[in-house]
Amino acid sequence: DTEVTQTPKHLVMGMTNKKSLKCEQHMGHRAMYWYKQKAKKPPELMFVYSYEKLSINESVPSRFSPECPNSSLLNLHLHALQPEDSALYLCASSQVGVFPRTSGRRTEKTYFGPGTRLLVL
């Protein structure tokens, strides 16, 4: 099974709402990611979780709050969003490889979920 699932598929929320995006994978991957994609642009990284710990935060505003409850689940909590936050939010996962000579970590093949289309009114 090489599938990453995301819910909901679509979300409309007001600027005062609180909502959550959910992501799940059962490939045994130990790295999970949130990306944001605006129309006609490439995906941009928001957060990386490695072994359930937040390892990269790309200076994302605090109105986005990630959470990794276990190795299969990743959430993104949304609060007080702005209209410019409207976008496609993509979850991804990959295995964490290791370079044999340096023991440095390496991103393996990355799998993306179908995304959540978010509209903030």
Q: Print burial letters for 78-89: b (CB count within 10 Å at least 16), e (below 16).
A: beebeeebbbbb
Regarding 60 and contact with other proteins (CB under 8 A), the answer is no
- For the segment 74-113, give every residue that binds other proteins (CB under 8 A): 88, 90, 92, 96, 99, 102, 104-112
Per CB under 8 A, the segment of 15-23, 41-49, 66-74, 77-85 that binds other proteins is 41-49
85 phi and psi angles, rounded to 5 deg: -80, -5
43 phi and psi angles, rounded to 5 deg: -60, 145
Regarding 26 and contact with other proteins (CB under 8 A), the answer is no
- Are 48 and 54 contacting, i.e. CB atoms less than 8 angstroms apart? yes
- Rank residues 73 and 96 by Cβ distance to other proteins and give the closer one: 96
Burial of 31 (0-12, 13-18, 19+ CB in 10 A): buried
Regarding 67 and contact with other proteins (CB under 8 A), the answer is no
Rule CB under 8 A: which residues touch other proteins? 31, 37, 41-45, 48, 50, 55-56, 58, 88, 90, 92, 96, 99, 102, 104-112, 114-115, 117
